[in-house]
A and B are shown apart, each in its own frame.
Chain A
């Protein structure tokens, strides 16, 4: 009965979303609108409660190992640890779509309760959110139901993909989805604003906090995924430019552009059309990401052609959202108004330039991601576009954006002020060549791009520190202080990521070697000796655990594992990391091989990732910066007011 109740609750959430469209729309104007507004809120409540209850029932089904539900049978086994049974609820396709729908409903409810202060705008936004909910709940109910039944009922499940059985993967998808789905609120507010001809400045002010919250969550989600890839996949990379990653990176880039352009629009009325366009496009790219990941086109366009139901549904949702959003934009963009002019070296100009760079990067990523599929679809060759293309085309654009980023806080609105800004940032500017020389000396053989990237990272960090030193003392209210700290932290975070990426790109070559007990391998001045391998089975896997001595044990012991999950018939490598300020020692063990002399040697991958902590620190800084900016934004709506009239304006950028 649990499964059928879950299915009913999804149907109820779908119906509530449909009702939400109409009653919330009616609540935006007309006779007796108060009742309709409240009914719209009630509809969003019902959608949240129904979807939330459905999610709880799905989790309960996983905990009970009810294999009469096809999704549970495909993603769980009786012996799986409790946490991963829960995580499996959103680990596979149908469950993740339920999570997507639940979050859409939560954001719909959030809009209804805490949305734009303009009642009409809020009601219409709730209505548009209802439309997005209806599309996805419809998809869930009719094409992707997590409570679909299975007959005959298998005695054991097929197990969740073992590489997804990881503590980080319990929170990575929800966090990522908060980001993806959170961008739907920006879409809904933008569409509502276009519909009722809200002026650009007011619309940007309404969009900004929602976009900032979503983008912050998306950053956290992507960072968690990158960290998971680094230590779980066993080959030491954290970003591979694969289509799944690109699917999240494109909305992230546009989200970053959106939160910055919305500041310029809100404060100075600049780029109103561009801001609204980004708000629409960011969520559309989120749906495109869902299509790429969930339709099967990534595996092969032929796989999509063989089982097109889901893909066509998502494509349909993408089409409806895009047509509705862009048609409204085409018809109503004129109503957004135009801001005052600005000089080419003003804050607006720099925000505009960075927006162009971020959007261009997103375009480069989009082309590189879609081109192989389009080519295959048109009967051309099967090709893959990988890191060489993205590194050559996207990285320079991002580096230029990072180079410009620290200057913006020092520029005034409207008027040119580059000379003054450069003068204020002299110390940080001087660090660029110094950092480049140090990096080139420290990492012999580093590519020019890595040296430039590292130097720009140092520049961004020092720029953020100067930003803090310059503007924190003159920020008066607590909200304003939080805005300044948040901005500086986020910008420093970008610098740390650039530095970490540059250092990691310059690391010594990884070593793949077969080690028998007693044998050693040297890397980055450390000697790693395989002391032995013993069995270390877990509840649903068998494992060989290696004991590796660092510098004969004086530097500690590392214990990588090779696991075999019988239920999934899959082998994984559990990496061992030894972190220090210099970087991570990284070891993974693979298959055992019998040598001709009768000894057993284990495939071992050894690497050293210099300054890799800088990437994590950067991500943490950006997320904290985003969080602080959001909190500061809630506390202080007014533009920052400098105590010292001689100081440059310090609006959060």
Chain B
């Protein structure tokens, strides 16, 4: 209604302005007729052009009104997009709201906007040092760098771990950083440690154990301790691949006799034997590891995870 009145007033003023020259000059005949024609032409013509595409019933949606509606609505009734908008609105009002910064950062991390998430976590950490936020930031950095635990992410995980050693994520990613650098024993120690501190029913415990066992049981590449490829001669001599694999596994077996505290080595041996089809030998390697690490609950969890993986593989065959 207001719109109609307003357009009518504007149209009338415009028509009056156009008709004025004819009325002022006091012309008779054609001039006066022109002024009379002008009024309906302008009033109706402009409305006619408007109504070709006009939507007079469609209300505007200025941001202030939208933000107020979001603020007045129960967050649980909002869509994820609306929740994001609400968090952003809170941060516009109070850029130092740590809770909003953290929640928005987590939301952005989950929706593949890690770069912005890292910025929000950084801002939150400037206000309050919190192990969970540090951990969230580290994880966002890891995702941002295609799974690589960069030095910046490692620093965040170390700080988080120092503040709250009971948090599983920082410890897991710290272990991953060690593992990526080839420091398997350190990785195994960190993972075993966090597994020991988690409750048996904690879903993270099983997940970390399974992942750690999988990583630690993978064959270690690179040159031998002497710096030269240990089986270069055999490869040059054209030894069959299966024979070469047996040579490698036997070498690992022999090394474990000398250094039985290498958890990663035991897991690798078990997996290698299992892969070679020597399931008994694989299980035996696990049993030997179990007896070796019977006082280390974390290590035992890793060994159990490996055993579970064998069982799953067995049932699938």
Q: Decide yes or no whether B150 CB sits under 8 A from chain A.
A: yes
Q: Which residues of A contact B41 (CB under 8 A)?
A: 15, 19
- The answer to whether B82 has its CB under 8 Å from any CB of chain A is yes
For the complex, is B122 an interface residue (Cβ under 8 Å from A)?
A: yes
Give CA–CA (A127, B84) in the complex, Å.
Answer: 54
Chain A hits for B25, CB < 8 A: 32, 34-35
Tell me which residues across on chain A come within 8 A of B61, comparing CB atoms: 66-68, 153
Interface residue count for B (Cβ, 8 Å)? 53
Query: B63 to A68, Cβ gap below 8 A?
Result: no
What is the minimal beta-carbon distance from A466 to any residue of chain B, in angstroms? 54
Taking the complex as formed, is A4 at the interface, i.e. its CB lies under 8 A from any CB of chain B? yes
A-B contact count (CB 8 A): 147
Known contacts A8-B7, A35-B31: does B53 contact A148 (CB below 8 Å)? Answer: yes
Provide the bound-state CA to CA distance between A79 and B150, in Å.
31
- Residue-wise, chain B 15-48 has the 8 Å CB interface mask toward A (1 for contact) of 0011011101101001100100010011001111
CB neighbors of B among A114-171 (8 A): 141-142, 145, 148-149, 151, 153, 155-156
B17–A32 touching, CB < 8 Å: no
| Interface status of B312 (Cβ within 8 A of chain A) | no
Q: How far is the CB of B152 from chain A (nearest CB, A)?
A: 9
Chain B residues near A542 (CB-CB < 8 A): 115-116, 119
Q: Which residue of chain A has the shortest Cβ distance to B118 in the bound complex?
A: A542
Q: Is A306 an interface residue, CB under 8 A from the partner?
A: no
A46:B92 contact, CB within 8 angstroms: no
- Say yes or no: A46-B14 contact (C-beta < 8 A), given A3-B60, A4-B58, A38-B21: yes
The residue from B21, B64, B92 contacting A42, defined by CB atoms under 8 A apart: B21
Residue-wise, chain B 70-105 has the 8 Å CB interface mask toward A (1 for contact) of 000000000001101100100010000000000000
Chain A interface residue bracket vs B: 35 or more
Q: Are A5 and B115 in contact (CB under 8 A)?
A: no
Tell whether A9 is near chain B: CB-to-CB under 8 Å.
yes
Chain A residues closer than 8 Å to B27, beta-carbon distance? 32, 35
In the complex, A82 Cα to B250 Cα: how many Å? Answer: 72
Q: For window 1-46 of chain A, which residues contact chain B by CB distance below 8 Å?
A: 1-5, 7-9, 11-12, 14-16, 18-19, 23, 31-32, 34-39, 42-43, 45-46
Contact with B along A592-627 (1 / 0, CB 8 A): 001000100000000000000000000000000000
A39-B21, A42-B21, A142-B53 known; A11-B30 Cβ under 8 A: no
Could you tell me if A8 and B10 are in contact, using CB atoms closer than 8 angstroms?
yes
Given A12-B11, A65-B62, A65-B63, the answer on whether A7 and B20 have CB atoms closer than 8 Å is no
Q: What string of 1s and 0s marks CB contacts (under 8 Å) between B192-215 and chain A?
A: 000000000000000000000000
A210 lies within 8 A of chain B by Cβ: no
Complex alpha-carbon distance, A542 and B123, angstroms = 12
Q: Known interface pairs A141-B52, A155-B85. Does A566 touch B63 (Cβ–Cβ under 8 Å)?
A: no
Are B2 and A1 interface neighbours, CB within 8 A?
A: yes
Can you name the residue of chain B whose Cβ is closest to the Cβ of A569? B113
Q: Answer whether residue B238 sits at the interface, using C-beta atoms and an 8 A cutoff.
A: no
Quote the shortest CB–CB distance from A178 to chain B (angstroms).
26
Main secondary structure of the interface of B (DSSP, over half): helix
Determine the chain B residues whose CB is within 8 A of the CB of A564 once the complex forms. Answer: 115
A536 to chain B, nearest CB (A): 11
A61 to B151 alpha-carbon distance, docked (Å): 46
- Chain A residues with CB under 8 Å of B236's CB are none
Docked Cα-Cα span, A65 to B60, in Å, equals 10
Q: How far is the CA of A18 from the CA of B42 in the complex (A)?
A: 10
Q: Determine whether B277 belongs to the interface, using a CB cutoff of 8 Å to chain A.
A: no
A-facing mask of B223-236, CB < 8 A → 1, else 0?
Answer: 00000000000000
Residues of A within 8 A of B84 (CB): 155
Q: Residue of B at shortest CB range from A73?
A: B61
Assuming the contacts A11-B49, A64-B62, asked whether A537 and B11 have C-beta atoms less than 8 A apart, the reply is no
Which residue of B10, B55, B66 contacts A4 across the interface (Cβ within 8 Å)?
B55
Contact check, B6 vs A5: say whether CB atoms are below 8 A apart. Answer: yes
Asked if A455 is an interface residue, CB under 8 A from chain B, the answer is no
Residues of B within 8 Å of A635, CB to CB, are: none
Q: Is A478 an interface residue (CB 8 A)?
A: no
Residues of B near A156 (CB, < 8 A) are: 85, 88
Cβ of B164 to closest chain A Cβ, rounded Å? 26
12 sampled A-B residue pairs with Cβ under 8 A: A1-B6, A1-B60, A4-B55, A15-B49, A16-B14, A34-B25, A35-B22, A39-B21, A42-B21, A66-B61, A66-B62, A149-B58
Q: Which A residues contact B (CB, under 8 angstroms)?
A: 1-5, 7-9, 11-12, 14-16, 18-19, 23, 31-32, 34-39, 42-43, 45-46, 50, 61, 64-69, 78-79, 141-142, 145, 148-149, 151, 153, 155-156, 535, 537, 542, 564, 566, 594, 598
